[in-house]
Amino acid sequence: MRLECAWLLLVVVVLCSGGRLGTELRNKICPNCTHLTLKLEYASANVEHEYIVAFKGYFTATARSKFISSAMKNTAVVEWRIVPRNNPASDYPSDFEVVQIKEKQRHTVLTLEDHPHIKRVTPQRKVIRSLKFTETDPAPPCNDSRWSQKWQSSRPLRRTSLSLSSGFWHATGRHSSRRLLRAIPRQVAQTLQADVLWQMGHTGAGVKVAVFDTGLSEKHPHFKNVKERTNWTNEKTLDDGLGHGTFVAGVIASMRECQGLAPDAELHIFRVFTNNQVSYTSWFLDAFNYAILKKIDVLNLSIGGPDFMDHPFVDKVWELTANKVIMVSAIGNDGPLYGTLNNPADQMDVIGVGGIDFEDNMARFSSRGMTTWELPGGYGRMKPDIVTYGSSVRGSGMQGGCRSLSGTSVASPVVAGAVALLASTVQHREMVNPASMKQALIASARRLPGVNMFEQGHGKLDLLKAYQILKIYKPQASLSPSYVDLTECPYMWPYCSQPIYCGGMPTVINVTILNGMGVTGRIIDKPIWQPYLPQNGDRIEVAFSYSQVLWPWSGFLAISISVTKKAASWEGIAQGHVMVTVASPAENDSNNGNEMTSTVKLPIKVKIIPTPPRSKRVLWDQYHNLRYPPGYFPRDNLRMKNDPLDWNGDHIHTNFRDMYQHLRSIGYFVEVLGAPINCFDASQYGTLLMVDSEEEYFPEEITKLRRDVDNGLSVIVFSDWYNTSVMRKVKFYDENTRQWWMPDTGGANIPALNDLLSVWGMAFGDGLYEGDFNMANHDMYYASGSSIAKFPEDGLVLAQTLKDQGLEVLKQETLVVKNVPILGLYQTPSEGGGRIVLYGDSNCLDDSHRQKDCFWLLDALLHYTSYGVMPPSLSHAENRQQPPSGVDHPLPERMEGNHLYRFSKVLEPHLADPKPRPLPACPHLSWAKPQPLNETAPSNLWKHQKLLSIDLDKVVLPNFKQNRPQVRPLSPGESGAWDIPGGIMPGRYNQDVGQTIPVFAFLGAMVVLAFFVVQIKSKSKPKRRKPRVKRPLLLQQVHPPKTPSV
């Protein structure tokens, strides 16, 4: 009885004591275990006068020098030299050189590309990373429900390390009320059940794993199989002076304390960051070449950036994977915003990894899809590929012991370690390649409930099921996603968020083809569309666009779905499937050039509704939105100096996701225009929504839009700042990158918008304003917005008192300006004509840096444009004023010498005065000829998608519940500080150690219940003395458990 009371008291103390007691206990139990917050800051800039000259093949240093000398003879360059690179790859042929050319001859650099052996010339890049470790804040007491989340959005211009603090996660929608519960971090290897494979003799042996990071010390006690350490920096050391590279290597292959997943893997350490946290693109390129030469099997890259048009880097990643290097990369730490995927993890041939916590909640920091490569004309791909533990994961400390870190750079080595472990289980290693490994991972992944495909990809890593698939895998093609169900929410968001109908813009699904048969392949003939007649498949039509060549290991299949005219008034579900046959050259020479083929099926299921009325249909102009890369397009809010680039795609499913969800919730149907204004039927739509437009307009578009408005189309324009003086003065200095950027346009391209609106006597000015105000009893914030400079006399204009942000930027002076016109509403005079609305700031709709939303205003404006009803809250507003005539101030003009033509789809590249290109033809879809099937479609498209010829029941896993591996005994002189409470060895049997507070509460309740049961029984039965029995000694295991060889 006393023991039960003591246990109950202990549970209560643990539950209600603050973070101090937990910290003290943890320090006593595990003195070498540290829980650190990792704060990251990054910088990136072009290296002055230095350029990377890429060649069309690998050549010796002598040949490369001759090519460059020959190319220089055709230029006026006098002062130039090849920058020496002293690293392990110097003795081998290379496909690039770093050349130093003085700035006054910079205009001649591009002429080097005329040489037949020179592929591309790009600036050399310098990347600076700052890692700052601080002790994690203590956990709040159990009666304190507050959680102060401290984080800063920092999206660097270039690739950066992707680590975060140890407690940075949030619950998904299904756990939105859950508060942060600090638990003792678990052993990720045992949580994923890697010990089951260890017991079967698979420990990563024979697999070469490259870690591209900050290095590793030579005699670190956690590693026994470091094959090679190479230094690619300009420092004379191979050791890790920061700890990040050690942590990543430990997650992959540590053999003790905080165990890695593949302890016997052969580690190749590539030190690509200095102790000052500096790196260069050329260092990465040389290191990548050396990895190819060393026949690396798995490469972990815990870095990333938004620049998917960094050609030397992207090309080299393709070359790596083409050489059968399985690249695993972090997807980014820019969540929860959508459209924030980092490169190279967003590439089809790379395994992109997102992060979750140990309770299977999506990590808040984990970047979300879709990919933005394909915008504006197409649609992004599904990424990440897979998610795994990335919050409070243990890894090796710099000199020994363990620490806990969070971030997708933690989740990435978890998957890299799993890949190395899985590769070691395959008897025929030639079957393992970037495609087959990704196929096994995504086919075996466990889907997380309540999370969509652009957050979790295919789901959570399931190591044992992936092993089962690889055990009997046969080379084949597969698809990602493996089916399309526009009725399945929330997983298929955003496809499931809006039904399709006749006359709507085609729904585009971008599917990735994975080709496990070979590095190159092709689609035989064309994809085949087979509708199910009993399930109304003939009511939809399908068109295809696809890769002509699948390389490396992958390609795309874009499917456009539209509703036939006969279903214009019909409502129901339609189903069919697409058949694709992929062929690859057989690798076995004995086949005499024969091809391997694989046929895959893509089930499709859609919901069709009658065509909505015109007033409920809104068309989003995507075509005229530009973003980084390729150009440096600035953010719309100048206050956000730490996040200077507009790189999220400006799409309704990325950084305008909340606005889209809001419009859907109030009954509007939102479609996307990815082509010029000439390419849509305006009679089908009530409102054209133009938000944050940076592109120019074709003259034909201006004429077409005027005609459409006369015929009843309404237009709403949300603009942003544009001021050439501010652009020249600020040059968009970013404190994060410590570099000046000269934007080629402002937050929006106001001169282009004014050309579009001039036919109605409207224009925006070059004023730049910010401030808080109240409109129609709603609190509003104007963030670096413009003013209305000209508006028709019979229009309605509302003004506000705001701060002149332009003056603050130019002269560091503060001036409050009254009666700044920011909102204008106008009914065109033609009979049956549409309405036009102007508002000077889009930040209130944008998820990126929105402080106060203006969704209520958008509701009111759409009610006005769709039905012609002026909102009383606006028509009777006190701040209504006379529309400006535009005579007081000149309208803004385009900045002289801007380079917008380099990135524009509208302008031709003329240096003096860029001219519009010829208007391109509108996209024309060639609908596939259907091959109807008179059979019943499957009722449930989502079942565990099996690869061809795979039956998981054939691979039975052994039961090792009583025989789990232990950590290797310490040698004399080694640290005895275990990172597991009480010295308990890692294994599935100690999974309950360190559970979170709700588990303790449940156990406490059980103890209390047992206490009362015993009390009742003791009162109801007479006491009887029992003879004392000696407590038996714990039995020792006759056969010690197997461990990974050390």
Active site residues: 213, 244, 409
In Å, what is the CA distance from 717 to each residue of 649, 682, 692, 754, 837?
18, 16, 8, 11, 6
Non-local (6+) Cβ contacts of 329 within 8 A are 300, 301, 302, 303, 304, 342, 344, 345, 350, 351, 352, 353, 412
SS3 for 779-804 is EEEEEEECCEEECCCCCEEEEEEEEE
Please tell me what DSSP assigns to residue 1035: P
Non-local (6+) Cβ contacts of 660 within 8 A are 494, 497, 652, 653, 670
Q: Is the dihedral angle over the CA atoms 891, 894, 895, 896 positive or is it negative?
A: negative
Burial of residue 447, with CB atoms counted within 10 A of its CB: 0-12 exposed, 13-18 middle, 19 or more buried: middle
Rounded Cα gap, residues 563 and 671, in angstroms = 14
DSSP annotation string for 280-301: EHHHHHHHHHHHHHTT-SEEEE
298-301 and 326-330 beta bridge pairing: parallel
Structure tokens that stand for 593 in this block: 């050039």
Given a contact cutoff of 8 angstroms between Cβ atoms, the answer to whether 555 and 477 are in contact is no
Rounded Cα gap, residues 97 and 88, in angstroms = 15
Q: Position of tokens 């000259």?
A: 53
What residue spans of 545-698 are helical by DSSP H?
A: 657-665
Q: 3-state DSSP helix/strand/coil percent for the chain, to nearest 5?
A: 25, 25, 50
Non-local (6+) Cβ contacts of 322 within 8 A are 519, 551, 552, 553
Residue 514: strand pairing partners: 478, 554
Rounded Cα gap, residues 290 and 292, in angstroms = 5
Backbone φ and ψ for 26, nearest 5 degrees, come out as -65, -40
Q: Position of tokens 């204008």?
A: 824
Non-local (6+) Cβ contacts of 432 within 8 A are 297, 324, 326, 423, 426, 470
What residue spans of 916-1042 are helical by DSSP H?
A: 997-1020
In terms of phi and psi (left: phi > 0; alpha: psi -120 to 50; beta: otherwise), the region of 784 is left
Rounded Cα gap, residues 673 and 696, in angstroms = 15
Closest CA to 242 of 456, 66, 403: 403
In angstroms and rounded to an integer, the radius of gyration of the C-alpha atoms of the chain is: 31
Closest CA to 492 of 611, 332, 605, 570: 605
